[in-house]
A and B are shown apart, each in its own frame.
Chain A
């Protein structure tokens, strides 16, 4: 299983810089070009301005949370096809369901298991 994501751009939305840094390093390691946003609102704006291949978002954030971001993105015709992966420390069912119902395409619990992250990326890029 190899990941070929050269030339693909992803957006990382998290209010903690440290979290963004780590995720970014890994995504860049896969070969992605990474852009960052601090909250859902900023993320949505960036998503509209850039041609994105995938969005990674945290749930709990100020201004606009990750669930709202999913909702907004999935009701925007230009973004509806951009897969959204929700990353959260919430591992319980209610949060996963909330994310899925709001339009998230996948859900990865933090701490992020790198093999899972890789698998999820391939799920969403391959066979689409």
Chain B
């Protein structure tokens, strides 16, 4: 499921107010650090003079400690505030799927979104998407009945699906409530007994709530049982697991025939990166090693350690030789003391397996950890955590350690190991930390560093600019601007998508049609600018429908809404293709749908006026003017022009030429007539009758210098009438 999601750019909006607060804190850090420096000097001076530490220094240190405590806690809460986002974004993402599913299943469903402004940690909001998606799909598929069934049950044919978010104390509640058929607990129980999950006797002892919660049992989440138990759908166990990963729980309330409410209750913890870890002590350091990376732990006598020349130390584990490192040493700390028995943790990442010697194994723990920000980047450490007993611990980045160990191994020969290795590790490390930031789900073992070798598809999710899309020779083909365009595009498409869903509710809202028209227009402009002319042309067709809609000449029906939504999908797909370095494609089917709603195109051919066949039609007023001009000494000309504009409509060029001629004379008539030109009844020939004070030579010169040079005139003939 997640694989089909469009690649998004990992970013969030930060309020200026927050940045200001951060700046304020930075100021306090500086002040504190200055005062520590001053105190330090005082103490040093006292020490040099063999004086005892004075009261002032003591006080200053105390103050510095207090303020640094306060600053770090302020900073912590500030960062947490910054990470808060509204649930709106997550909720809004379901409008389209609910609409589409309802349509598909011929159900009528109204989606209600409540509490969209509830603030949650960004990670929670992201991690809620999957379980919410699951529950919504289940509700749509199984919970909500079709309109007929609902009417038979005496309900409104339109079902309501409500997503609601709110905060109570430190918990975030997210409800998915439907007014569908509800869950039949008896069927749940009998299915559970049938599957051998519980016995009849056990079932008798269960409360209603416990019976209901049986649906979370993996054995009851299969497709075959799902429909039986009044269908709560597949994967309920996964939903439960998702929520538990967030440290939360799932509650169910159901009433047969009335509906079901699932409630996710999630603690609003500081940062939700939960990782199963093995905690260890190495000297005075506490480390947490992600369980996923731990192969085994062994105790080994120090004389069992192989020391091979030029290859460092190694141990034998299950018949294979694994290089042994001192965990502290590998992290550039002083090595552990020599002991008779070594405690060793064997770890592995995608890139290899190593053994780490530590002082002591502590305990496996579920840890909430905070990833280290880029500015605090420490090689080999991916985050900090609070271990049991309120001790700070560091999360070990195993992949990086393995990479690091390679560097050390290679340079063991020249005994300058440590310094050389840190350089090598620094290089190898870039890749890992970068990828680590991207997923930031703590599952470091599954981080696919370098799995996307395409150029330009870096950590920030930037778009490939390898030119896989054919760029035409226009101005927009500036590759350097393309990334910006595509980022802008994403926002525009999302916003257009939301507005279209709104339009579905009020299809005659001309203002709304107009804003959507504007959105599409801008999208088109952007596509054109980056050289995606075909895609732009496609959007142009869609825009034409909206143009008719906003002028009131076309009623927006549900099929048009579909076309509009589909076209946003087309752009999103194109964007995805671009991100993956593929050329975007357009479905011919979709174009066909669009054609239906377009203005019937008028036939142009055959209407073109043949300028040699037709003479000028002058009104009596113009005939009078003509005589007057001639009597006043002006020359009267007939000019025949053939022009072949490459980049502009012939009718436009014809109009521009007429405008030009009017600057040197007075036009009595043209063939085709101006109305005909404007109606595009023109090929590439034009006949003009006008008076001018220029003589024949000057006129010829003018036509050469202006019309031939700049207006694509290829042939001309000047006739002076007598």
Contacts and interface: CB of A to CB of B under 8 A. Distances in A.
B706 interface: yes
Interface string A115-127: 1110100110011
Contact of A89 (B528, B656, B702): B528
Contact of B472 (A96, A109, A111, A127): A111
Nearest to B531: A111
A100 B326 CA distance: 79
Interface string A87-117: 0010101001100100001111111111111
B525 A112 contact: no
Nearest to A119: B710
A110 B528 contact: yes
B705 interface: yes
Given A22-B529, A127-B705, A127-B706, A100 B473 contact: no
A113 B648 CA distance: 10
Which 7 A/B pairs are nearest by Cβ-Cβ distance?
A111-B474, A116-B647, A123-B710, A111-B528, A112-B475, A127-B706, A113-B647
A74 interface: no
B260 interface: no
A127 B647 CA distance: 21
Contact of B478 (A22, A91, A97, A115): A22
B474 A114 contact: yes
A104 to B, nearest CB: 10
Contact of B526 (A16, A25, A112, A122): A16
Contacts of A82: none
Interface of B: 472-476, 478, 481, 484-485, 488, 518, 521-522, 524-526, 528-529, 531, 533, 536, 540, 646-649, 651-652, 655-656, 659, 678, 680, 702, 705-706, 709-711
Interface string A6-49: 00000000011011011101100000000000000000000000
A22 B481 contact: yes
B664 to A, nearest CB: 10
Contacts of B702: 127
A19 B655 CA distance: 27
Contacts of B478: 22, 25
B600 to A, nearest CB: 14
Contacts of A16: 488, 522, 525-526
B540 A112 contact: no
Contacts of B488: 16, 18
A26 B706 CA distance: 24
Given A16-B525, A112-B474, A100 B649 contact: no
A117 B475 contact: yes
Contact of A115 (B476, B524, B529, B647): B647
A109 B536 CA distance: 13
Interface of A: 1, 15-16, 18-19, 21-23, 25-26, 60, 89, 91, 93, 96-97, 100, 105-117, 119, 122-123, 126-127
A105 B585 CA distance: 37
Contact of B521 (A89, A113, A114): A89
B706 A106 contact: no
A60 B481 contact: no
B525 A110 contact: yes
Contact of A122 (B475, B649, B710): B710
Given A93-B680, A115-B647, A116-B648, A26 B475 contact: yes
* Interface majority SS (helix, strand, loop, mixed), chain B: helix
A18 B711 contact: no
16 contacts: A18-B526, A18-B529, A22-B475, A60-B521, A89-B528, A91-B540, A93-B678, A93-B680, A100-B655, A107-B648, A107-B652, A111-B474, A112-B474, A116-B647, A116-B648, A117-B475
Contact of B524 (A18, A89, A100, A116): A89
Nearest to B604: A93
B244 to A, nearest CB: 45
A100 B475 contact: no
A62 B340 CA distance: 78
Given A93-B651, A115-B646, 19 more contacts: A1-B709, A16-B488, A22-B478, A22-B481, A26-B475, A60-B521, A93-B680, A97-B678, A100-B655, A109-B648, A110-B528, A111-B529, A111-B536, A112-B475, A113-B475, A114-B475, A116-B646, A119-B710, A127-B702
B533 A111 contact: yes
A68 to B, nearest CB: 15
A126 B678 contact: no
B652 A110 contact: no
Contacts of A100: 652, 655
Contacts of A108: 647-648
Among the interface residues B475, B488, B526, which one has the most CB atoms of the partner chain A within 10 A? B475
A102 to B, nearest CB: 13
B484 A18 contact: yes
Contacts of A115: 646-647
A22 B648 CA distance: 21
A117 B647 CA distance: 10
A96 B524 contact: no
Contacts of A113: 473-475, 647
Nearest to B680: A93
A18 B475 contact: no
A102 B484 CA distance: 33
A126 B649 contact: no
A126 B706 contact: yes
Contacts of B526: 16, 18
B481 A89 contact: no
A46 B533 CA distance: 32
A122 B706 CA distance: 10
Given A18-B484, A106-B656, A126 B521 contact: no
Contact of A123 (B529, B646, B680, B711): B711
